[in-house]
Amino acid sequence: MSAAKPNIVLGVTGSIAAYKAADLTSQLAKAGAAVRVVMTADAQRFITPLPFKTLSRHAVITDLYDEEEGWQPTHIRLADEADLLLVAPATANFLAKMAHGLADDALSCIALALNPKAKILIAPAMNGKMWLHAATQENVSTLKKRGVKFIGPEEGMLSCGYEGLGRLWDVNQIAARALKLAGRAK
């Protein structure tokens, strides 16, 4: 882990809460973290990569085959260098992929190839019924047994019109928790 500048890979998945990840990127970068954003295809339906590129000062990974300079695949290099993998917002689909070891996009490949010293923090955001579904709860339990940390979700009005458990946790608290896990307390 880099004591001076923790490396945080921020995964953004396809939730209406994806726009809040831009603020999260800004907070992490301002606190001194090197933030590398990885967006799923579904996340890009809610927000473009441009705000993340501007706020993080790094290219945004949007495809498994996005390559930068050098010979090593970008997703492997990011997995090797990460102090923390933060997924915010995390959908039920991403939780299922991670719990079952599926790797079909850049973010899920990074999660599977993550260096063993890196920590993982997940901030779920989804419909309350999806969050409470037995399959999702089983996936969360599996991930917790593997050492994955969770923050949220919280209760409140959901974008689907329901009120209940499923909102993305407060971005300020996610940032503070992420920085602490990555070795840089806020």
* Contact between 123 and 87 (Cβ < 8 Å): yes
Query: Can you tell me the distance from the alpha carbon of 62 to that of 139, in angstroms, rounded to the nearest whole number?
Result: 25
Q: Where are the domains of the chain?
A: 7-182
Q: What is the pLDDT of residue 67?
A: 73
Q: Tokens in use for 167?
A: 């909102």
- Tell me which of 149, 160, 170, 180 is the catalytic residue: 160
> Is 109 noted as a catalytic residue in this protein?
no
Return per-residue pLDDT of the chain as tens, 186 residues.
445 789 999 999 999 999 999 999 999 999 999 999 999 999 999 999 999 999 999 999 999 887 766 777 889 999 999 999 999 999 999 999 999 999 999 999 999 999 999 999 999 999 999 999 999 999 999 999 999 999 999 988 778 777 878 899 999 999 999 999 998 544
Could you tell me the pTM of the whole model? Answer: 0.94
Q: Which CATH architecture has domain 7-182?
A: 3-Layer(aba) Sandwich (3.40)
Q: Give the closest residue to 177 by CA, choosing from 26, 56, 27.
A: 27
**CA atoms lying within 13 Å on the CB side of residue 147:** 10
